A and B are shown apart, each in its own frame.
Chain A
Amino acid sequence: MQKNKITGWQLCFLTLQTQLGISALSMPTDIAAEAGQDAWISMILGGLTVQGIIIIYIWLIMRCKTVSYFDFLSMVYGKFLGKMLLLFTILYLIFMLLMVISSFQQLITDWINIFTPTWMILLLLLIPSLYLAIDNITLIARFSMLISFFIPVLLIVILFVYAAPQFLYLLPVGSEGYKAIIKGVVPAVAALSGFEMILFFSHYIKENKRSELKKGLIGSGIVTFIYIYLIISVQVFFYIDELKIVPYPVLYIMKALSLMIIDRVDILFLTFWIIISTAVCINYLFVTGTGVQSLLNLKTHKYAVVAITFIVFVISIFIESKVEINMIQNQLFSMLLVFAVLIPTLTLMVSFLRKKVGDS
């Protein structure tokens, strides 16, 4: 067993976990705010867009087989510009971490731990993440795969919606007009954020073949299907006007559900969800750590991860109000556009022009 290497399927689950953990619970509301009852169509389009972006990634990665994306930046743009871009990418990753951490903290504070101080919840999320993020990629990939066994729990619990579905809420299809649907693609892609992990994880793959990388497409595809399933389930449960004002519609469905032995499924489910969402923190912490390692030419990413965790912890203590978190979340799409779409595409084109290939 090679250390510090992953298989194609592990890449698939790393991507899947990162994407799923970020916004699965709140995403239907955001999309419905733009696309109304055609939110699910926007999700399909969003999923296709992401698949397109991942194909661009695969082209890019095939040009830098053994070099990490961070190092490839310096190879393509030269030392100074490359390092600058790397620095900005790290800032972007820290931004993502902040967003993820504070959204989770907000969710937990809203839903289960109303009186627990913010910093305690942050520590509860960050310390377990740090414990794994300082270790190597193989273990992180194993964690992501193990955690994926919890995903069916989400799908099965949501199945209870179909005891009394209102499929009429979906009709007429396309009533919002194509403009609204296209507008809905923006939050849909934002909800799928996390696909950029393929860029950062790909050079760990044992055999850097196109077929292995394509398993990243499968991961993103599975997430798209899960999201479409969730959106449709939410839409046949809530009337659209209702949906637009419900913050975590997936959890609200569970709140309505009452089993014989457990009355509030949502609280128990959220316990599972915290475990799933930690995978996101772990993945981002690890990637940011390796980014800093590449920037400062460190031997390990260990201390970088510890430092980043501390920075994220300190900053997120000050992000308290919902308004601030919403502000951050609104920036997500434009950040994604720049760092996950524009820069990789530009890098691909420049590397074509300058005939740079990262293959040792």
Chain B
Amino acid sequence: MIKSFFLVLVITFANVGICQAADNEAFQVEVVTDGLSFPWSLQELPEQRAGWLVTERGGRLIHVADDGSVNAIPLQLPELFVAGQSGLFDVSLAPNFVQTREFYVSYSCGSISANTTCLARAKLSLNPPYTTSEVQQIFVAQPLRKGAAHYGGRMAWLPDDTLLLTLGDGFDYREQAQNLANHLGKVVRLQRDGSAASDGPFPTKADGFIFSYGHRNSQGIVYDAQRKTIWQHEHGPKGGDEINQLQAGKNYGWPIASYGVDYTGAMVTPYQELPGVAPPLHQWTPSLAPSDMALYAGQLFADWQGDLLVTHLAGKRLQRLRLVDGLWQVMSEHAFVNNSRLRAVAVARDGAIWLATDAENGQLLRLTPKGS
């Protein structure tokens, strides 16, 4: 509670000067459901009108049916650790979910003195009310660390059915993001059984899992099938949130190159860019705290194909960015529900945009064009 109060203070002072988010005149906003406790991720089920899987940071996996009704899905995660920023994070369906019913969840595991980001695989029953089975922890990021901050935890599937998982630097271990001997501050690439992809860029380092390094705390990653590339964003400290184009083996700079400074005002590094460090394709200073990302493809917002939708926590807005001359530019931004912190964004098959607000009484919002 006290920590939360300080967090509000820090965020408030860290964002003095940020302009307020613009209106949401572009959307018809439907509150699908509320009463969710800090929802973290959204995953639409593939069957028609089957609804969504939603995670709550406290550890609950829930099913939000097509009519907005909410049902908890029993899920016993091995060693789940909930405190501070830790808990249940992302949920993602296996590429062949329809056949196998397999899904993946990222979460923090361990204890306050020794914890890390973990990945589990499970199976979802065929029909609601859903149940889970064969829950298996298949990856544990190394090493275990103290504290409850910076876990990453977002996932994206690549066309070869390997899975990218973002991992945070653990806050106090920022220099380790440059150390290829561990998983702190990395994006790792796994096969569906949790083993390392066989053609990783560092086969002899950290058991071959590392895909890219030099990340601080990445909570947004998407594969762009149209452009055949990977977009990722990450939190900077005070300033210096970034969007990157992820490529195997590349160094994304944290903490040796950053557009941000420490929360105390101290310089983390004197360099914004360095040779051998991939520069961001967009950076936010002051920080907005990007929390999730989706690539728009759908019929409802016909002009937005290929644009990135980014939710922000401290920034309390949804931004739409477009790739212009190789850099991402903010095209529009939108605030919702009394300027709520936004935790997750997804694009539904029908082209509607779904958002989750970051609150004790979190809401799911469905956005469609006004007048649709």
Partners in one complex: no
